[in-house]
Structure 1
Amino acid sequence: MGPISRRGVLGTCGTALAFGAGCLGDGTDGESNGDGDGSAAEGGTWPSFRGGPSNAAVADADGFDEKPTERWTIDLPTGPGTAAIADGTAYLAAGSTLSAIDLANGDERWTVSLEGTRTGSPAIAEDAVVCPDAAGLLVVGRDGGDRRHVPYDGETTARLTARQQAGPTVPSSPTVVDDTAYVGTPDGDLVAIGLAESAVTWRSPATTGWTSLAQQRRTAGGVTSPAVADDRVVVGTESGIAAFDAADGSSEWTHDTERAVRSAPTVVDGTVYVGGPTPVALAAEDGAVQWGGEGAASLSLQGTRVQELPPMVPSVAVGDERVVIHESDERLVALDRGDGSRRWAVPLEEVESLSRPAGSTGAVQYASSWSSPVIADDSVVVGTSAGVVAVSREDGKGLWRVPTDGRVVASPAVVDGAIVVGDGGGTVRALEA
């Protein structure tokens, strides 16, 4: 890949602006990430897809009630994932490349090739960046050197080929804790990779096989991005939600669902939260249902036959008071964290209309974006099929929209006063207050 084409530096560093998937910390008004176990992202970093091992997606920052400006835009291959950020560098995987981008001005610091197309977003370890592809995990020094590729081992040929013929695999981004990377493989296993040894520590099957439900949907089995807390790894699968011992990969519990789970679980204060039309909260220790699940009323699409039930995507953001979900019909829904009751729901079309020319009419047609929301102080931020939007955390009132040329599927990442987010066409933007 040649030098990245920077399309313009449109602003300078300004007021701290944080969005996206997880600069986790103590909130100023009751919406902290609630970890309390040291697993939250350190200040100045955005280490993984949902901002830290718990996947809470809460940013300790304010200033989002005003529309941000663009600091810079760059062009990458199509479909860039969520950025991982540390020490003023944003690491982005797009197509079959992993790039390091200067957060201040959008300049390319280095780009390396993956073994194949990316299967998830990168994550940051103590002295390296890791990024998954179909065959294993690429490990690269933060300066672009010391490049290693750790194969997943196990069955990655006939079974994987059969699944790929049926449909796309479930994206799984790695979660790094104590120099171990946990990630789902394209053929439905969960692996732990010791980064110091560059070897698989353990590999466990995370599904009960290619279920009839998956066959009916013509989807491939897979494992979501893991949440890691209290020495436990929790993932979603085609069959439900599963928890494993982080030390040896032994199964701790499973929770069956009628829907495939493609959203990364969030673990906060001993509770597992998973979104979708039938969100559920489970006890992290044993998987017992605390609220929600298939027995509760769906947020939408009630009466749909089981084999047609849409999967549970995207991932939730969990603050002290709320669980925020991005619904497949392009609306945000906020639930009470304690009992799952609805606080508010807002169609994102209403937010999109904030930027329409005066006097314009007509409905907007959407394709689901699957971008996961983030709680950022008084705001909730998420990507849509037409841009990046923010609504009030308190009542869902639309605040602003930044339009994009393509659908935003990736989740925003936030650090050092910048929101970094890419759209499906390959344009990556850094926004600031």
Structure 2
Amino acid sequence: MNRRSFLATTAGFLTASSAGCLRLSEQESGTATPSEEGTVTGTESVEGTTTPTEEESDTDEEGPGDISGAPMFKYDAANTGTSTGETGPKNAVEEQWSYEIGERLYRPPAVVDGTLYFGTADANVYAFSAMDGNVEWSHDPTDYSDLIVSTPAVVDGTVYVGTDAGTMYALSANAGTERWKYHAGGLLRSPPTVVDGTVYFGTVDDGVYALAADDGAEQWTYEVGLSVYSSLAVVNDTVYIGSYAAVSAEDGTEVWSGNSDVTQPPTPAVVDGTVYVTRTYVVDGDFVGRVYAVSADDGTERWSHQKEKDIPRSPAVADDTVYVGCNDHHVYALSTADGTEQWAYDTGAKVDSTPAVVDGTVYVGNDEGTLYALSTDDGTEQWSYQTGSPLSSPVVVDGMVYVGTEDGTVHALSEQ
């Protein structure tokens, strides 16, 4: 049973015995209550080593198989922020369900085979039913201070997620039981990228790690010299650490490095031999943002595009266009060829959200809690929805939009 012993009440909501209180908002389809069997507790591990856990029962050994939906941050290992196989609502939406955790949701969930996987600021990993928001299970790490701010990766029946205590966990996707964990040390806010049986991630103490996905054994490490908060892109047997460096996915040997003015490697999107990143600079006391395109082969700059306010989140890249949100209140579409602006849309507030691009629509939120759906062709607004709290980045799967908020609520939206 989780430290926050869950009490299901007749009022149809959930409370917890600790300060990190959880409660469910009412749903048309009923209320969601996690069962005692669905909550699990971790065990201690030694720094720099992997701690395997006991063998699991046959009932939870097999998790989701074929990868579909959004199995990791920004959909894929290239961090494109788009999925050609998904559809999303193009007309006005309504709330299908919501779940109030009560702790800030920093990044979007992973969505695989009808389940949402979230890491939260209340030190839990949650699995929700994508259909009705029922809590399928939750996992509470051993260390109560294990803040979880990164998007999990869900591949071959295993959930991989890092914590602020510097631990990477591997959990059963079906039940949340712990399979192994690896303590790297330092804050681990880099969403993991899982490719060909290897888990790649960075840490705030300047390391990049590659672990075996099946047992957590360390395969190699690479010292960046900078804090790595961002997700790594893994494309064509190469790991891209923002626009700062590229290393071999097999053994971590350096392919190229540069951009010495980078203080924190941003999350890269790698498409057709080009790495796209955003960066924020201070110019005459003001923050300005730039979008860069560099060669994936050697890191040489191809073009850059500057805005007069900072661009806090990473780009999405689809159909020869780069999409970014900016703190000048706009969403911009830029040409991948030379960075020229194709269109701009004014949301009326800072855009601290990474766009998701699905089926001809850009989904993005602003700091006033409004989620927008914009046409990729010209930025025309298709619909907007007000949540009342600043938004994390949305994810769009199977015609639904899922988004978390600063006040700790998960919203599931569908077309009316």
Q: Contact 1:273/1:316 (CA < 8 Å) preserved in 2?
A: yes
- Structure 1 contact 150–199 (Cα < 8 Å) conserved: no
Q: Is the 8 A contact 2:96 2:132 kept in 1?
A: yes
Choose the corresponding residue for 1:300, options 300, 305, 308.
Answer: 308
* 1:335 matched residue in structure 2: 334
For 1:290-333, what per-residue CA distance to the aligned partner results, in whole angstroms no more than 9, with x for missing partners?
Answer: 222xxxx62225xxxxxxxx5x6311110122101111222111
Name the residue aligned to 2:273: 270
Please tell me whether the aligned partners of residues 322 and 335 of structure 2 are also in contact (alpha carbons under 8 angstroms): yes
Q: CA deviation at 1:171?
A: 3.4
With over 3 angstroms needed to count, the CA separation of the structure-2 counterparts of 1:262 and 1:205, relative to structure 1, is closer
Mapped partners of 1:328, 1:136: distance in 2: 32
Paired residues of 2:393 and 2:403 also in contact (CA < 8 A): yes
Determine if the alignment matches structure 1 residue 398 to structure 2 residue 381: yes
Maintained 8 Å contact 2:149/2:163: yes
- Offset at residue 241 of structure 1 (A): 1.9
2:191 corresponds to which letter in structure 1?
A: S
Alignment check: 8 A CA contact 1:317 1:375 kept: yes
**2:251 pairs with 1:248:** yes
Flag the 1:119–1:203 CA change in 2: closer, same or farther, 3 A: farther
* 1:51-110 alpha-carbon deviations (Å, 9 max, x no partner): 010111113345543121111000124222311111111111112100110111100010
1:369 and 1:407 in contact (8 A); partners too: no
One-letter amino acid of the counterpart of residue 82, structure 2: V
Q: Give the gaps of 5 or more residues in structure 2.
A: 7-13, 15-21, 31-64, 280-288
Match for residue 142 of structure 1 among 161, 166, 173: 173
Q: In 1, distance between residues paired with 2:88 and 2:71?
A: 22
Question: Distance between the aligned counterparts of 2:28 and 2:395, measured in 1?
Answer: 19
Asked if residue 283 in structure 1 is aligned to residue 314 in structure 2, the reply is: no
Q: 1:145–1:397: structure 2 CA closer, same or farther, 3 Å change rule?
A: closer
Larger relative contact order, structure 1 or 2 (CA cutoff 8 Å, min sep 6): 1
Secondary structure of the 2:24 match is: strand
- Supply the AA of the counterpart residue of 2:387: T
Q: What is the deviation of 1:149?
A: 4.6
Q: Contact between 2:88 and 2:398, CA under 8 Å: does it hold in 1?
A: no
Contact 2:269–2:275 (Cα < 8 Å) also in 1:
yes
The residue correspondences of 1:360-375 to structure 2 (distance < 5 A) are 366=349, 368-375=350-357
Amino acid of the structure 2 residue aligned with 1:319: A
Return the offset for 1:199.
Answer: 2.1
Q: Pairwise mapping of residues 104-115 of structure 1 onto structure 2 (< 5 A)?
A: 104-114=131-141, 115=143
Cα distance in structure 2, aligned partners of 1:42 and 1:342: 38
Checking the alignment, whether the CA contact within 8 Å between 1:125 and 1:179 is kept in structure 2 is no
Give the structure 2 partner of residue 201 of structure 1.
219
Work out whether residues 90 and 103 of structure 1, in 8 Å CA contact, stay in contact via their aligned partners in 2: yes
Aligned length: 346
Counting aligned pairs with the same residue, the percent is: 28
Relative to structure 1, the CA distance from residue 170 to residue 93 in structure 2 (aligned partners, 3 Å threshold; closer, same or farther) is closer
| Equivalence map 1:68-83=2 (5 Å) | 68-80=93-105, 81-83=107-109
Distance in 2 (alpha carbons) for counterparts of 1:56 and 1:271: 11
Of the three residues 80, 83, 90, the one matched with 1:65 is 90
Q: Tell me, yes or no, if the aligned pair for 2:232 and 2:241 is still in contact at 8 Å.
A: yes
The one-letter code sitting in structure 2 at the alignment partner of 1:416 is D
> CA offsets per residue over residues 197-243 of structure 1, 9 Å max, x none?
22221111123x5xxxxxxxxxxx3341111110011123xxx5211
TM-score of the pair, normalised by structure 2? 0.77
Distance 1:393 1:138, change over 3 A: same
Deviation at 1:131, TM superposition (A): 0.7
After superposition, what is the alpha-carbon deviation per residue over 1:248-275, rounded to whole angstroms, capped at 9, x for unaligned? 1122112316454554101111111112
Cα displacement (A) at 1:369: 4.9
Equivalent in 158, 168, 178 of residue 196 of structure 2: 178
Could you list the runs of 4 or more consecutive aligned residues of structure 1 that deviate by over 6 angstroms after TM superposition?
Answer: none
Q: Distance in 2 between matches of 1:407 and 1:202?
A: 38
Q: Which residue number corresponds to residue 317 of structure 1? A: 316
Q: CA offset at residue 10 of structure 1? A: 4.9
TM-score (norm 1): 0.74
Superposition pairs of residues 13-32 of structure 1, within 5 angstroms: none
Q: Which residue of 2 aligns with 1:128?
A: 158
Higher strand share: 2
Q: Secondary structure at the match of 2:306?
A: coil
Q: Distance in 2 between matches of 1:377 and 1:103?
A: 20
Unpaired stretches in structure 1, ≥5 consecutive residues: 13-40, 161-168, 210-220, 302-309, 350-365
**How far apart, in 1, do the equivalents of 2:95 and 2:109 lie?**
17
Is 1:346 equivalent to 2:345 in the alignment? Answer: yes
> How far apart are residue 124 of structure 1 and its match?
0.5
Q: Deviations over 1:100-128 (max 9, x none)?
A: 10111100010011341114111102121
Is 1:380 the counterpart of 2:386 in the alignment? Answer: no
